[in-house]
Structure 1
Amino acid sequence: MAGVSGCVKYSMFTFNFLFWLCGILILALAIWVRVSSDSQEVLNSTDLSSSSYVAVNILIAVGAIIMILGFLGCCGAIKESRCMLLLFFIGLLLILLLQVAAGILGAVFKSESDRIINETLRENTKLLSTTEESAKQFQQAMVEFQKEFKCCGLINGAADWGNNFQQYPNLCECLDTQRPCTNYNGKLVYQEPCISSIRDFLVKNLIIVIGIAFGLAVIEILGLVFSMVLYCQIGNK
């Protein structure tokens, strides 16, 4: 009868130990964001409240699941437990299938997501011209975004700021002569609205997310192969 390969066994243990550490890191960061007083101010802002809490809660769940799977994989490899290895295999396979399903849904509903982004930006345009305190944080974020990406407003340029245009010093001030500028209320400001920069920013980040997801998928497939090889070797002892 064939024995259990030490190389496969300890490779499986090392893989899952790193997997377990990643789970701890994700869980710790997510819990810190959830309970931190500074983060609470951001999470409780009017626009981001519900969606931000959902995102943080999902991260907590993901971190916990990765920890459990890493534990099952480590113990299953060291103790040569077929039951633990099978549970690890099933759990990792479900995660991989969910990732594939999310990718397919993202591709199918791409046009719908573009529409939602456009509607969200149009709604947020109203926050630039309001004087409510709840909108101040969003306005400050937009001021910094405009400086970095050399644009002004969200959709209609400087006009999106309404009466708030005079409230912020040097708002949209056109300092780059290579960019198109226009005169607004006696000030030279960037002519291009920020909606195109935001779209480009989202696309670039989406590419990063897709790259990370692809990398995770490769790691998960390796984990599936290691666990099944070890599972079969234990059964043949």
Structure 2
Amino acid sequence: MAGVSGCMKYSMFIFNFLFWIFFPFSFQELEIDSRLFAGVDMLIAVGSIIMVLGFLGCCGAIKESRCMLLLFFIGLLLILILQVTGGILGAVYRSQVQYYSAFSLMSSQSSYQCCGLLKGPADWGKNFNTPLGSNKICECDAENPSTDLCTSFEGRLIYKTQCISHPLVLISPSGGYVPTQAPSGGRHVDSEAFKGIRDIEK
């Protein structure tokens, strides 16, 4: 029993130590592309908490400290509860997030006089003809619309250019901010941000 106990103790120490050392590097890959994400501060906070928990797990396993191991267990339990709560809230409010994301996209399109991201009105799917508030999607509301600015599509006058050619920030259905810029800006984003709003119910 003593040998098994020692093996478990050192195994717990090694795994917690490795997790504590290598976990911060998982954020370095996301640093450039996720700098403007809404949830990045929360992820950093969670990462810091996990690092502290890993340290408690290491010390508690080596010193066989019941206090440290208890704190380690409580911390893991709290993280589990937060993850479950976040998943439930995300599922419950997903439709609301998608709906208000559509309004954000509408505002961006009106400001930059563009329509869609890569495929124009096709990015909106079946919701293209669904009014959002008092405005119609991609509606060209210029006083004297020219052929360079507007074009006819399904009997409506809409903006001609796609929004990928303009610098703007889109709010994706997942709640994060997706930075997009003209191709010369060095950033790239595909039409994934539009997928979640194609099937928004009125």
- TM-score bin (small chain): 0.5 to 0.7
Task: Please give the root-mean-square deviation of Cα atoms over the aligned residues, in Å.
Answer: 4.4
| Aligned twin of 1:17 | 17
Which structure 2 segments of 5+ residues have no match? 129-135, 163-171, 173-190
How far off is 1:106 after superposition? 1.5
Alignment of 1:75-224 (within 5 A): 75-129=59-113, 145-146=117-118, 150-151=119-120, 166=148, 198-200=193-195
Aligned residue identity for 2:45: A
| Aligned twin of 1:216 | none
Distance 2:147 2:5 in 1: 70
Kept in 2, the 8 Å contact 1:125–1:160? The answer is: no
Kept in 2, the 8 Å contact 1:25–1:63? The answer is: no
Distance 1:159 1:82 in 2: 65
Identity of aligned residues (%): 45
| Aligned twin of 2:5 | 5
Kept in 1, the 8 Å contact 2:106–2:138? The answer is: no
| Aligned twin of 1:61 | 45
Distance 1:164 1:99 in 2: 51
Distance 1:106 1:86 in 2: 30
Distance 2:93 2:70 in 1: 34
TM-score scaled by length of structure 2: 0.55
How far off is 1:27 after superposition? 6.4
Q: 1:55 to 1:89 in 2, by over 3 A?
A: same
Distance 1:75 1:202 in 2: 48
| Aligned twin of 1:70 | 54
Listed one character per residue, the Cα deviations across residues 84-109 of structure 1 (whole Å, up to 9, x for unaligned) are 11111101100000000111112222
Q: 1:165 to 1:57 in 2, by over 3 A?
A: farther
SS in 1 for 2:64: coil
TM-score scaled by length of structure 1: 0.48
| Aligned twin of 1:225 | none
Q: 1:189 to 1:105 in 2, by over 3 A?
A: closer
Listed one character per residue, the Cα deviations across residues 181-227 of structure 1 (whole Å, up to 9, x for unaligned) are 99xx9xx989xxxx985342789xxxxxxxxxxxxxxxxxxxxxxxx
Q: Which of the two has greater strand per residue?
A: 2
The count of residues paired between Structure 1 and Structure 2 equals: 153
Aligned residue identity for 1:8: M
Distance 1:165 1:83 in 2: 73
